[in-house]
Amino acid sequence: MHHQPHPIAPDQVLIAAQMRDAEQRLMDAGTDVHTLMQRAGRGAAEWVWRIASGAPVTVLCGPGNNGGDGYVIAETLRERGFPVQLIAALPPATDAAKRAASLYSGPVVDAAEARGTVLVDCLFGSGLNREVTGVLRDMLHGLSARHARRIAIDLPSGVATDSGELLIDELPQYDLCITLGAWKPAHFLMPAMAHWRQARLVDIGCDTEPGGARLIGKPTISAPAADAHKYRRGLVAVVAGPMAGAALMAARSAALGGAGYVKLLAQEPLYNAPADLVVLRAPGNMPLPDALSDERIAAVLCGPGLGRDHQARERMEAALASGHPLVLDADAPTLLRPADRADRSAPLVLTPHEGEMAALEKSFGLSGKGTKPCRALCLAQAAGAIVIAKGADTLVASPGGALAYAPPSPSWLSVAGTGDVLAGLTASRLAVTGDAFRAATEAVWLHADAARRTGADFTAAMLAESVRDAMCAAL
């Protein structure tokens, strides 16, 4: 039987072991390692060529296959007439690297003498699991200081592929990171991702790797059906606490995120609610459990402005007991206990930042050790929930092991209230799609895109209004 390969997935994110497996599958299918190295190196050289624009290039090569890629890059640039020089920090140690080195015909110089405009770092790349110290560290630092622009191949030397941990003192800043074959977790994890301005992918033909994570991409938002009405489009109930401003922000975001109807279930009287928001107050209108018993509710959001006292706990318990798909944000996740999940089958989404993640891990008896992706997956499994692990690096994990990384977001999001906007978006997309993992990834993308469209130095209220523009961009 003729084998049909998996479709190529340029959005997959692979840990170091998965990347090795993906390359091995290519070789098992008939592509030798030399051909792969030529494919990767020449693809990377295209980007170096664009960045350098004719300026002198220095390629720093290590002993492994990342160094081999460097020899290919240098030879490709030399063939095009570029002024290029190469530094062999250590002799080639793999057969593929030795062959690539033998094919390089340009100058090899001592690191102390090297000067240029663009430094291409091929010292170690991905798969590194030890610290870069001593002579090699000093060499990288010195060369970085003597070159105005820096490009890393696969990953900067001194970055742990799977965790984003730094394995070198004072990792240099790079203008570009060129990843080969597939994205790696470190491309989307702090502190590593703060050390380059942009990243690009060179496709070497890797198929979809089983169990691989993916990069969150632009969603496809569909217009409501021709016969849609407000309930069919999705009714979102936002459970408010004593700090109603956060709930109002979340409700505004939910309304602009595609839901057909948003109700705010308030704890205290509200005098500044917008005219297009329906507000019910317990006990003034009806008790919270009764308000949540409406079968037309498609998703509930609880947490923004909730507080952490006994009343907050009671309101969260009512949201859990309602049986509706539920998003727990802000204070609510810190109140969640394993017993609260016992009788629930409806989807649950948790949106913790680092502090809230630690509180949840303690509640569910988790160690809190390991990489951020591993911690998020462990929590998702223990809580039976989709987890949006927020931060400068945001990712989404499912109980079944699915993992999705968010591309870098504008750092202007680091202002109070933007998490409420994300929570409202998540509840809205959950009400519309009924799919918790899809809703979480769509919300994360829309949230970041809204931030880009809002510009610099904004407030959460301004961000919420930009949700509409992000939605339009995804139509």
Q: What is the 3-state secondary structure (H, E, C) of the chain?
A: CCCCCCCECCCEECCHHHHHHHHHHHHHCCCCHHHHHHHHHHHHHHHHHHHHCCCCEEEEECCCHHHHHHHHHHHHHHHCCCCEEEEECCCCCCHHHHHHHHCCCCCECCHHHCCCCEEEEECCCCCCCCCCCHHHHHHHHHHHHCCCEEEEECCCCCECCCCCCECCCCCCCEEEEEEECCECHHHHCCCHHHHEEEEEEECCCCECCCCCEEECCCCCCCCCCCCCCHHHHCEEEEECCCCHHHHHHHHHHHHHCCCCEEEEEECCCCCCCCCCCEEEECCCCCCHHHHCCCCCEEEEEECCCCCCCHHHHHHHHHHHHCCCCEEECCCHHHHCCHHHHCCCCCCEEECCCHHHHHHHHHHCCCCCCCCHHHHHHHHHHHHCCEEEECCCCCEEECCCCCEEECCCCCHHHCCCCHHHHHHHHHHHHHHHHCCHHHHHHHHHHHHHHHHHHHCCCCCHHHHHHHHHHHHHHHC
Dist. CA 387–CA 307, nearest whole Å: 21
Dist. CA 442–CA 451, nearest whole Å: 14
pLDDT at 342: 81
pLDDT at 71: 98
Main-chain phi, psi angles of 166, to 5 degrees: -90, 130
Main-chain phi, psi angles of 196, to 5 degrees: -145, 155
Dist. CA 155–CA 135, nearest whole Å: 20
pLDDT 10s digit of each residue in the chain, 475 long? 333 344 456 899 999 999 999 999 999 999 999 999 999 999 999 999 999 999 999 999 999 999 999 999 999 999 999 999 999 999 999 999 999 999 999 999 999 989 999 999 999 989 898 999 999 999 999 999 999 999 999 999 999 999 999 999 999 999 999 999 999 999 999 999 999 999 999 999 999 999 999 999 999 999 999 999 999 999 999 999 999 899 999 999 999 999 999 999 998 878 788 888 988 886 666 789 999 999 999 999 999 999 999 999 999 999 999 999 999 999 999 999 999 988 889 999 999 999 999 999 999 999 999 999 999 999 999 999 999 999 999 999 999 999 999 999 999 999 999 999 999 999 999 999 999 999 999 999 999 999 999 999 999 999 999 999 999 999 9
- Give the Cβ contact number of residue 142 at 10 Å: 13
Answer whether CATH 3.30.70.20 is correct for domain 230-474: no
pLDDT at 286: 74
Main-chain phi, psi angles of 385, to 5 degrees: -140, 155
| Sequence spans of domains, the chain | 12-214, 230-474
Let me know: does 4 contact 204? Beta carbons within 8 Å. Answer: no
| Domain 12-214, CATH | 3.40.50.10260
Main-chain phi, psi angles of 237, to 5 degrees: -105, 125
Q: How far is CA 131 from CA 37, 81, 399, 444, in A?
A: 25, 36, 33, 33
pLDDT at 137: 97
Question: Which residues are within 8 A (CB) of 317 and not within 5 positions of it... i.e. 6 or more apart?
Answer: 340
Q: Which tokens sit at 333?
A: 């996740």
pLDDT at 5: 40
Q: What are residue 121's DSSP bridge partners?
A: 60, 152
Q: Which tokens sit at 111?
A: 């690191």
pLDDT at 284: 64
